[in-house]
């Protein structure tokens, strides 16, 4: 039954992905109305998160950000579906990199790269980067429990030569690549909330102490990798521009948690520039006070 359901869902997504962008965004407007106005999907969570991050904002300012976020959220969801059929030419036109030469300079040094980014603007289309790489591009993801629907997600995210690596086998596979001399660019999207555990690293995020993922830092230090941040801006509806920012070129020489602190700082600064494009539906501060 799950297999049949997954096939039906996948066929439906393919049909949606074939819509031209003009009609796709008409559909997005309809979904926005239903999701925000009718259903009110996670509205309390979104409003509470924005208020936590920007306590100085008035209620009207928070609601304004909230509405714009939901519009973008619906756009981004449908853009992810569009990935199933989008052409290489269209993707490269809509997702550009302002300083790709910087990345090429790091590749020329012959060291693998940890590329860190946040759930901001559009992270799914970052796969466009594969068309510029000399190294192999790898996306780190957490498999879904339902294998049939996990396959759908993998089909979406593995287009354009992206290889996916499960977070559960990541360290082993990256060590294997290092031993074999395989050079890669490893994309980590790790600004969300980890599960609580002992000996966890905590850091202030918008002035509140929260647990953060630091696995990318440990791997980068152990394998002496270059670490970059990918800052994405939404230029207009359906168009994005990304910029590479160096965190460190010598991970093994950094102090404890320098990389993670720098990453969280860059994420926070990015959100402050245009809050409406952050992924506010996630309960980012749910562990505050539990250290």
How does strand 113-117 pair with strand 226-236? parallel
Report phi then psi at 40, rounded to 5. 70, 40
Q: What is the mean pLDDT of residues 88-101?
A: 96
Distance from C-alpha of 138 to C-alpha of 92, rounded to nearest angstrom: 18
Q: What is the mean pLDDT of residues 36-60?
A: 97
Which of the four pLDDT bands, split at 50, 70 and 90, describes residue 8? Answer: confident
Select the more confidently predicted residue: 146 or 233: 233
| Neighbour count for residue 246 (Cβ, 10 Å) | 12
Decide: residue 133, CB within 10 A, 0-12 exposed, 13-18 middle, 19+ buried. Answer: middle
* Reduced DSSP (H G I as helix, E B as strand, rest coil) percent helix, strand, coil of the chain, to 5: 50, 20, 30
Given this model, what pLDDT does residue 148 score? 65
Distance from C-alpha of 79 to C-alpha of 94, rounded to nearest angstrom: 11
b/e map of 85-95 (b: 16 or more CB within 10 Å)?
A: ebeeeebbebb
Q: What is the mean pLDDT of residues 91-105?
A: 95
CB 129 within 8 A of CB 161: no
Mean of per-residue pLDDT scores for the chain? 93
pTM of the predicted protein model = 0.92
Give the closest residue to 210 by CA, choosing from 283, 108, 275.
283
CA torsion sign, 224 to 178 to 244 to 73? Answer: negative
Instruction: Give CA torsion, residues 48, 50, 53, 55, to 10 deg.
Output: -80
Distance from C-alpha of 74 to C-alpha of 36, rounded to nearest angstrom: 10
Residues 174-184 have pLDDT tens digits of 999 999 999 99
Distance from C-alpha of 174 to C-alpha of 104, rounded to nearest angstrom: 21
Share of the chain above pLDDT 90, in %: 79
């Amino acid at each position: 039954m799950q297999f049949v359901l997954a096939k039906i869902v996948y066929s439906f997504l393919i049909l949606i992905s074939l819509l031209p962008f003009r009609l796709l965004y008409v559909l997005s407007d309809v979904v926005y109305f239903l999701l925000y106005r009718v259903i009110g999907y996670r509205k309390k969570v979104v409003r509470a998160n924005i208020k936590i991050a920007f306590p100085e904002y008035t209620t009207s300012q928070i609601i304004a950000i909230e509405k714009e976020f939901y519009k973008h959220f619906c756009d981004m969801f449908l853009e992810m579906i569009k990935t199933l059929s989008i052409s290489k030419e269209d993707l490269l036109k809509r997702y550009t990199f302002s300083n790709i030469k910087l990345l090429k300079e790091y590749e020329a040094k012959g060291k693998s790269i940890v590329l860190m980014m946040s759930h901001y603007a559009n992270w799914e289309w970052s796969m466009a980067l594969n068309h510029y790489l000399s190294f192999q591009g790898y996306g780190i993801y957490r498999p879904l429990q339902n294998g049939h629907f996990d396959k759908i997600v993998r089909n979406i995210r593995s287009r354009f030569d992206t290889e996916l690596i499960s977070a559960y086998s990541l360290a082993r596979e990256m060590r294997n690549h290092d031993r074999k001399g395989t050079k890669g660019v490893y994309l980590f999207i790790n600004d969300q909330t980890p599960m609580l555990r002992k000996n966890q690293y905590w850091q202030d995020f918008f002035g509140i102490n929260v647990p953060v993922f630091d696995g990318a830092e440990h791997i980068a230090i152990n394998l002496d990798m270059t670490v970059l941040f990918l800052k994405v801006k939404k230029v207009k509806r359906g168009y994005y521009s990304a910029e590479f920012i160096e965190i460190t070129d010598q991970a093994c020489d950094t102090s404890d948690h320098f990389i993670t602190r720098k990453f969280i700082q860059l994420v926070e600064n990015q959100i402050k520039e245009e809050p409406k494009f952050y992924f506010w539906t996630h309960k980012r501060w749910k562990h505050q006070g539990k250290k």
